[in-house]
Amino acid sequence: MKALMYTKPAKMDGFTVLEPGVCELMDIPEPELKPEEGMKIRIDYTAMCATDAHVVTMGLYGAPCPQILGHETMGTIVEITESGEDAGFEVGDKVVVNGSAPCGCCDQCKRGNDNACYNKIFGQVFKMSGAFTEYVTAYPQQCFRIPDDPPVDPKYYCLTEPLATAMEGIDLADIKIGNSVLLQGCGAIGSIILNMLVLRGCTSITVSDPVPEKRETARKLGAQYLIDPTTENLEERAMEITDFRGYDIIFDVAGVPSAAPLLPDLLAYRGKLVYFAVFPMDYKLPLSLYDLYLKEGRIQTVYTSFYNIPRSMDLLPRMDLDTIVTKEMKLSDGVEIFNEFLRSKNNKIIVKCSDL
């Protein structure tokens, strides 16, 4: 079967990329379902995530190479074991497949800290080494049944994983209805977060992004103020829009070091600033604790939570998916999927992996 694989790591000097890594469309053997696993799944759709790109371009997480890329996925069960059936699944079920699941046995799992599980290794423990391919095998713990006759096209369920991560940020931001909000960066995950901020009752919804296509997506999703930071003064505009109070809530999804330090200055009294993006491993934000103290501000970071997956699937039909997904491609497009992502004109790209 075909698989889009990360085949050569980036050359790094410390944290500096000397030469980016390589990904290629390869032919690999189809996986066989083992008795201890639960099901074999034909991948229907997998979405492209910035993480996939950063693994290749800058060795993010020190992820092992080679591996199949892609972790935002949904498919159809084609083969099942007894443990899969015991968990209530059957052949033909459409499912969201998560790259991992908590072990349930370690100290962190027993504390409910699912995503700090000591034994969960991304894309490994549960044997799913990536979803830009045609078939994977999985455990019942990592599979989530898509309802029959879902209110949206089942392909969109491949966005469940980024929704769950965005949801973690939304939960941790502790937003009150009517809170003003600024979003810096409206790309792939940014557009999902924007959609949720709109759905979360925010006001003075402001999006700053240098890419015109992304500002246009933001407008469609309900942003009330659009800022091009390359031609406008973000600080002045922010103060004007918020009547000099600053924003109650700020999300940074850009992850651009040069744009990060201004944000604390734009917070309102008791405001909360969520640095959602994954910043470069060697970047240090210069943070004025005195200024933050005067406004009793908060800085929050966001990993993700496995436990958000079912709630994300519940939420999916309320999302504006047609606007968020700006391009649909095919697995056979191979490396062009990456290149299209890196051109930075799209929000979400989803990839059809099998003939349905």
What is the footprint of a copy of itself within residues 151-180 (CB under 8 A)? Answer: 167-168, 170-172, 176-180
Q: Which one of residues 124, 216, 262, 307 is an interface residue with a copy of itself (CB under 8 A)?
A: 307
Q: Which residue has the tokens 């084609």?
A: 78
Cβ–Cβ under 8 Å, residues 30 and 52: no
Please report whether residue 203 would count as binding a copy of itself according to CB under 8 A. yes
Q: Rounded to an integer, what distance in angstroms lies between the CA atom of residue 320 and that of residue 159?
A: 12
Q: Which one of residues 8, 280, 333, 340 is an interface residue with a copy of itself (CB under 8 A)?
A: 280
The nearer residue to a copy of itself, 212 or 261, going by C-beta atoms, is 261
Q: Rounded to an integer, what distance in angstroms lies between the CA atom of residue 33 and that of residue 135?
A: 10
The nearer residue to a copy of itself, 114 or 161, going by C-beta atoms, is 114
Cβ atoms < 10 Å from Cβ of 104: 11
The nearer residue to a copy of itself, 233 or 301, going by C-beta atoms, is 301
Q: Which residues, 6 or more positions from 159, have their beta carbon under 8 angstroms from its beta carbon?
A: 47, 72, 192, 316, 319, 321, 324, 325, 348, 350
Site for a copy of itself in 9-48 (CB under 8 A): none
Q: Which one of residues 34, 62, 303, 344 is an interface residue with a copy of itself (CB under 8 A)?
A: 303
| Cα–Cα distance list, 227 to 92, 172, 223, 259, 272 (Å) | 46, 25, 10, 14, 20
**Residue 107 phi, psi (nearest 5):** -60, -45
Q: Which one of residues 298, 327, 330, 345 is an interface residue with a copy of itself (CB under 8 A)?
A: 298
The nearer residue to a copy of itself, 31 or 297, going by C-beta atoms, is 297
Q: Rounded to an integer, what distance in angstroms lies between the CA atom of residue 249 and that of residue 268?
A: 8
Residue 206 C-beta: closest distance to a copy of itself, Å = 13
Residue 2 C-beta: closest distance to a copy of itself, Å = 30
Q: Which stretch binds a copy of itself (CB under 8 A): 67-75, 185-193, 211-219, 284-292?
A: 284-292
Site for a copy of itself in 326-345 (CB under 8 A): none
Written as six digits, the tokens of 343 are 């051109």
Q: How many residues does the chain have?
A: 356
| Cα–Cα distance list, 280 to 15, 254, 290, 328 (Å) | 8, 12, 25, 29
Give the up-direction half-sphere exposure of residue 203: CA atoms within 13 A in the CB hemisphere. Answer: 10
The nearer residue to a copy of itself, 16 or 339, going by C-beta atoms, is 16
The nearer residue to a copy of itself, 102 or 162, going by C-beta atoms, is 102
Please report whether residue 226 would count as binding a copy of itself according to CB under 8 A. no
Please report whether residue 121 would count as binding a copy of itself according to CB under 8 A. no
Q: Which stretch binds a copy of itself (CB under 8 A): 208-216, 231-239, 268-276, 320-328?
A: 268-276
Please report whether residue 287 would count as binding a copy of itself according to CB under 8 A. yes
Q: Which helix (H) or strand (E) holds 169?
A: helix 160-173
Residue 34 C-beta: closest distance to a copy of itself, Å = 17
Please report whether residue 78 would count as binding a copy of itself according to CB under 8 A. no
Q: Which one of residues 32, 296, 322, 336 is an interface residue with a copy of itself (CB under 8 A)?
A: 296
Please report whether residue 104 would count as binding a copy of itself according to CB under 8 A. yes
Tell me which DSSP letter residue 45 carries.
Answer: E
Give the up-direction half-sphere exposure of residue 248: CA atoms within 13 A in the CB hemisphere. Answer: 15
Q: Which stretch binds a copy of itself (CB under 8 A): 109-117, 127-135, 153-161, 329-337?
A: 109-117
Cβ atoms < 10 Å from Cβ of 50: 20
Please report whether residue 91 would count as binding a copy of itself according to CB under 8 A. no
